[in-house]
Structure 1
Amino acid sequence: MIFEITNQVRVTDIQQGQRWYEILLNKKPDFIPHEGFAEWEIIPGYWLQVAEGVPSEGSGPLRLGVTNIIAERDRLVKELGIEKFDIFSREEVTAKWGSFTDPWGNELGFFEYLDKKEENDRVKTILGI
């Protein structure tokens, strides 16, 4: 039985990386077990680990579900200075999405459900309400 997930990205400077991901995720790490490592529980049972090291090329993107992709993109352009990324959609896909990279080359992105009832149902399921 799988009951939790962790995903790790690597950064060459943990202090800069931790600050960058604090802004991305709008919160401080939930757990710092040792030097060179920080973890955030993004949703119950899903942990993002930021570790000091050599970033992996060609992995990702790790896409995070958001309720307003345009607002989140604009926030990151302003607060983190990322390049404004395109937002895509396709008729057969129930979400719109966009991708960007962190300063270490890790591929990230956001997605937003087009059907807000579906989005609300997913949030309730994930949070157990």
Structure 2
Amino acid sequence: MASLLAQATMLTHFAFLAYVVFGGFLAWRWPRAFAPHLVAVTWGALIVTVPWLDCPLTMLEDHFRRAAGQPGVGAFIDTYVSGVLYPTRYVLVAQVLAASVVAVSWLGGYLRWRGARGTGARTHRMGR
């Protein structure tokens, strides 16, 4: 059971990372999605930049892995992402690319919101 919980935590962690990178596009359709995405991006940036800050999902996965008699995974990104999805030497490139995707999603959301607000389309779409 602990091994299954560790796997579920790992999948949740991947989902969170995908949300951090791509979640801003949800605000294009649902503007209220911007606030939770801002919180997720802030948390993700802190986890990557503050060395003493530990991610609770990593700690939870490690707990379940140890309970299953397996070794802990350590840093999630170092274990599952860097060196797996892209070569380790491209960590900075991957971070800049992820930040760029977030910035594009926020800029696009802002432009859509501003354009809809200016034309009255936003209130029409919402049925008002």
TM-score, L = length of structure 1: 0.28
Report the structure number with the largest CA radius of gyration. 2
- Which of the pair is proportionally richer in helix? 2
TM-score (norm 2): 0.28
User: Which structure exhibits the higher relative contact order, with contacts defined as CA atoms closer than 8 Å and separated by 6 or more residues?
Assistant: 2
